[in-house]
Amino acid sequence: MNVTVLQFPGTNCEYDTQYAFEKLGATVSILWHKETAIPSNTDLVVIPGGFSYGDYLRSGAIARFAPIMESVSKYVAAGGKVLGICNGFQILLEAGLLPGAMKRNDTLHFISKYKNLKVINNKNKFLEELEVNDVVNIPVAHHDGNYYIDEDGLKDLEANNQILLKYCDENGNIESLNGSVAQIAGISNKQNNVFGLMPHPERAMESLLGCDDGVKMLKGFFNK
C-alpha cells in the first residue's frame, strides 16, 4: 500500500501521518504542494492537519489553489481515495471535493482534547474495520471545526449515507463539541472515495501515549 501525504507551507501533521501509516505497513511519501502530479502507484492520498498558509482568509482557502490540488481533483475523478484530516478536511471543503463549509467553533475557543466519536456509517474503505454505533476516542485540535451545511445539503448527506462520524459522549450519546450541524465530525462524498474528518486518528496510534483507537480507523484503507 502506497500512501502519498501532501505538504503545504504550514502543514504540521505530515510526519505523524507518515508514522501512523508506516506503523500499519504502508510505504509513505510526502509530496510538496508545488508538485503537479500524484505518483502513479498511489493507493491513498492524505491531506494532513496543520495551518496551511496560516489559515489566512479562511482555513484551507488558499491551499486549495496550490499546484498539486489540480491533480488531486483528477485523482478523485478517476476514483482514487483521498482522506483529509482536520486542515485537510477544510481544504477538501474549500476545493468543493466535499460538500459544506467550516465556521469558527461556536465556543470561539480553540478546542484541543480527546473526544468520543460515534460511527454512523461503515460502508466505505475508511471505516469498514469498525461497526456502526462503535465509539472511538480520538484527539481533536481545531479552531474552525464548526461544520455547516444547509438543510437540503444535510438531507442529501443523510439520504446517501455520507455522514461517517458524529461527536458523542463515552456511552455513544450524540453531543455537541463545536456547534457542527447535526454534530457531524466526518463525512464522505457521494462516490465514497473522498473522506474528511476534524479529529486526528493519526494521533491515536499508541496505547502507551494514551489511546490507539486510530489504528482501527486507518486500517480499513488496507483492505483489498
Partner 1 sequence: MKAIVNVALKKGVLDDQGKATHHALDTLGFKEVVSDVRIGKQIIMELNCDTQEAARAQAVKMCEKLLANTVIEDYDIEIIG
Taking the least distance from each CB to partner 1, the nearer of 22 and 150 is 150
8 Å CB contact between 104 and 144:
yes
Q: Which three cell numbers stand for residue 175?
A: 453531543
- Answer yes or no: 202 catalytic: yes
8 Å CB contact between 90 and 102:
yes
Note the residues at the interface with partner 1 (CB under 8 A). Answer: 57-58, 61-62, 65, 93-94, 100-101, 103-108, 146, 148-149, 179
Q: Which three cell numbers stand for residue 188?
A: 464522505
Taking the least distance from each CB to partner 1, the nearer of 148 and 222 is 148
165 φ/ψ angles, rounded to the nearest 5 degrees: -140, 140
- Answer yes or no: 200 catalytic: yes
Taking the least distance from each CB to partner 1, the nearer of 123 and 155 is 155
DSSP secondary structure string, 55-116? G-SSTTTTGGGSHHHHHHHHHHHTT-EEEEETHHHHHHHHTTSSSSEEE--TT-S-EEEEEE
Q: Which three cell numbers stand for residue 126?
A: 475508511
Cα separation, 91 vs 221, whole angstroms: 21
- Answer yes or no: 211 catalytic: no
Least spacing, CB of residue 9 vs partner 1, in Å = 17
Least spacing, CB of residue 148 vs partner 1, in Å = 6
Taking the least distance from each CB to partner 1, the nearer of 3 and 62 is 62
Q: H or E stretch including 18?
A: helix 14-23
Reference 88, options 119, 43, 51; nearest CA is 51
Could you tell me the end-to-end alpha-carbon distance of the chain, in angstroms, rounded to an integer?
A: 10
Taking the least distance from each CB to partner 1, the nearer of 122 and 160 is 160
Among candidate residues 33, 86, 129, 142, the one labeled active-site is 86
Least spacing, CB of residue 220 vs partner 1, in Å = 29
Known catalytic residues are 86, 200, 202
